[in-house]
Amino acid sequence: MVAMQAATLLQNTYVIQANGQLNAHEDKLSKKKKKKKKLTGCAQLLMGDTFFNMVVEAEKNAAWAVQEKEERKGRREEQVVAIATWKKHEKRRKERNEEIRGQYRVAVEKWETERNRVKAACQKPAWKKPKMGPIEKGIPRPKIPDTEESEEEEENRGIELDEDMHDN
């Protein structure tokens, strides 16, 4: 009888522990994952200078990443505006070119009727076939600016971070 009570007590303890672990795991999955600092495998001694410097560097990199994201967003918005104005100019250019082509077609039709009339009368045409005037060339589409840093900027950024680490 005592052995059965001991087994029941152990099973009850195990079930309570397993239930707690399952609930904790479900809570962990349901919550949004928080961004944790990655410290490249260094032992996390909370009072050490190297750990502190690594945390400062990680925070600077995170702030730099946020700033870079905002700059990209700004460049993207500028690109959208530039493309919209380019489309307006391109549409106007095409309309002007179509007007030039229309005038040319009308002049050619007049010339052809005159030529056919003169040919029927067995004479030479008085004027030559008209030539189309110059049309406007297309403006190149605005390109996305290069968002990558140059090597010098990356080196300078690395030097600044190293100096900050040595100052602390």
How big is the CA angle at 84 (ends 82 and 86), to the nearest 5 degrees?
A: 70
Domain boundaries, the chain: 73-143
pLDDT at 168: 43
What is the chain's pLDDT, residue by residue, as a tens digit (168 residues)? 888 888 888 888 888 999 999 888 888 877 765 555 555 555 555 667 777 788 889 999 999 999 999 999 999 999 999 999 999 999 999 999 999 999 999 999 999 999 999 888 888 878 888 998 899 998 898 887 665 554 455 555 555 545 544 444
Q: Can you spell out the DSSP letters for 30-63?
A: HSPPPP----TT----TT-HHHHHHHHHHHHHHH
Give the span between the Cα atoms of 57 and 157, in whole angstroms: 11
Tokens of 142: 């605005």
pLDDT at 79: 92
pLDDT at 101: 95
pLDDT at 110: 93
**pTM given for the model:** 0.48
Q: Find how far residue 33's CA is from the centre of its chain.
A: 25
